[in-house]
Amino acid sequence: MKLTCYILILFTLLASSCSKDFLEEDPRTFLTPGNFYKTEADLQMGLNAVYRTPQDRYSNMWGAPCWFGWATDLGYLTPANGHAFHNQPAHLRADFNPASDMPWYMWDYIYRHVKDINFLLAAVDVVDAPAASKTSIAAQARAWRAHLYFDGVRIFGALPLILEPVSDVKTLNSLTRTPAAQVYEQIIKDLEFGIANLPNTYTAATDKGRITAGACAAMLARVYITMAGYPLRQNDKWEKARVLLKEFVDDKKYGTQYNLWPEYSQAFADANIQGGQEAVWTVNFTRGTFGQGSQVHTDFSPIELYYDSRAGLTRGGGWSNELPTEAFLASYNQARDKRYTFTYWRSTADLPTEYAAINNSAGGPVVFAAPHVKKFRETSPNDNSQGSGLDHYIIRYSDVLLMYAEAINETNGANAANYVNIVRRRAGLDDLPAMSQAQLRDHLLLERAWELCFEGERRFELMRTGTYYTRVKAWNPQAGANIVQNKHELWPVPQREIDINSNLLPNNPGY
């Protein structure tokens, strides 16, 4: 579903009812479902706008693709990139605090889009439209709301749970933080609604890339696995995840369309992502449309290719926003693992011709000193202002296989390694040797890193496995020097929100 241009009246109207703080409302301009949405077409237009929601999280917020890889065992911020905006969280510096920009950006992103989704869901109840269409729209919107709150609860812990439009300023400015366990229960409800009411596949070409029942099931499995880990430790969720993933992988309950591409590199070809056999849940980007293209390729590319300094550059430049740690690079079987070869520019010799031919500002060929991530490289001529058209995975099938292996292992089941080996064989590696439960648990943390690195989930994987502090300390000298246990597991609630609503206190530990 290439959402080529949804610069909608909806956004214009909603913007007029929003100030910079999500808890600051102007009742005179507040819209109601009945005075904006009138027809089924209006509802569909609103849903299409909702599909733009994750473009911020996975690209358009400044450096956002790197936010949950920074300060992990995988990635660090190069000293060449001196933006203070990035330095605080990437280095886990002491001045990463409630007044920092990034917690606010994330908080605003979540609640701005939750507000739009709740507005749409309320309209579904009142607009005269076919029941099947309304149910489908509601299911897709609720799935996106689940995704937003899943991010929110993992980043901030307890947070306000808003499930309907709220126009009263006093109500908004007195909301309290809902305990994390209750937020998770709502996430589960929203995803279960999607599983029950969305199809396994869509037939219309214009619906390609929409959320399916399988996407909701895979996300719910991720939610269960997260709840089974730190900090909730709800061990019964391992079995729930195992059953759900067995239905997905073995029983083909959500269709036979899911598989791995024969080569790892094929999974990241733009034509193979949206609607492709490895795609379970994706984010759409549109090249050449301002504000709807992806910046992932420039976030990870070498800063030596910064486009303003390189005459003739046709594929965007680079910011060096996240580089792989030396310890992570050393963990690969570099001679055999195809994922290593595909994922990194290891030296100037790896640069494709369209980059290597460009001279640096002082004359001579482009040279960069450290390995960089290239798995999101744009393959068509482009520049930063247009952004890339390369879609982004939220969940892909290899992740489903690895989650299934983990759930089997944690419920003392047999053959967990079989599903890891499916992923390893594509990478050109041998099957795993016999392992104990603890050994496979440790290995899965590495296998997930090799397979899924820099796709936006690593921080959360370390958090749920209870390894965040030890891994960052051991693998990331930049952030490890500053990490504080029982503080940096969560981000602070933004100070600007606390200033207008003291009910959000106390803040998270250490802030």
**160 falls within a domain:** no
Q: Is the pLDDT of residue 21 over 60?
A: no
**340 falls within a domain:** yes
Distance CA 50, CA 187 (A): 17
User: 340 lies in which domain range?
Assistant: 296-393
13-17, 326-330, 334-338: lowest mean pLDDT where? Answer: 13-17
Band (8; pLDDT cuts 50, 70, 90): very low
| Residue range 172-220, pLDDT digits in tens | 899 999 999 999 999 999 999 999 999 999 999 889 999 999 999 999 9
What pLDDT does residue 353 have?
56
**425 falls within a domain:** no
Distance CA 287, CA 391 (A): 10
Q: Is the pLDDT of residue 349 over 70?
A: no
Distance CA 319, CA 59 (A): 13
Distance CA 367, CA 121 (A): 52
- Measured from the Cβ of residue 136, the count of other Cβ atoms closer than 10 Å reads 23
Q: Is the pLDDT of residue 418 over 70?
A: yes
Instruction: Name the residue type at position 390.
Output: L
92-106, 117-131, 294-308: lowest mean pLDDT where? Answer: 294-308
Check if the beta carbon of residue 400 is closer than 8 Å to that of residue 249: yes
Q: Is the pLDDT of residue 380 over 70?
A: no
Q: Is the pLDDT of residue 317 over 80?
A: no
Tokens of 258: 């899911």
**321 falls within a domain:** yes
What pLDDT does residue 5 have?
34
What pLDDT does residue 449 have?
98
**305 falls within a domain:** yes
Q: Is the pLDDT of residue 108 over 50?
A: yes
What pLDDT does residue 27 have?
39
Helices (H), ranges, 129-179: 131-156, 169-172
| Residue range 30-70, pLDDT digits in tens | 456 666 899 999 999 999 999 988 888 887 676 677 889 98
- Total structural domains within the chain: 1
Share of the chain above pLDDT 70, in %: 79
Scored b (16 or more CB within 10 A) or e, 240-260 reads bbbebbebbbeeeebeebbeb
Query: Which of the pair, 346 or 442, is modelled with greater confidence?
Result: 442
| Residue range 151-182, pLDDT digits in tens | 999 999 999 999 999 988 889 899 999 999 99
What pLDDT does residue 93 have?
83
**13 falls within a domain:** no
Q: Which residue(s) pair with 283 in the sheet?
A: 392
DSSP 387-444: -B---EEEEEHHHHHHHHHHHHHHTT-S-HHHHHHHHHHHTT-PPPPP--HHHHHHHH
Q: Is the pLDDT of residue 355 over 70?
A: no
Question: SS3 for 373?
Answer: strand
**409 falls within a domain:** no
Query: Which of the pair, 22 or 384, is modelled with greater confidence?
Result: 384
Interval 382-397 mean pLDDT: 76
What pLDDT does residue 30 have?
47
What pLDDT does residue 92 have?
87
Interval 282-293 mean pLDDT: 72
What pLDDT does residue 125 have?
94
What pLDDT does residue 300 have?
72
**371 falls within a domain:** yes
Band (26; pLDDT cuts 50, 70, 90): very low
How many residues in the chain? 511
Q: What is the mean pLDDT of the chain?
A: 86
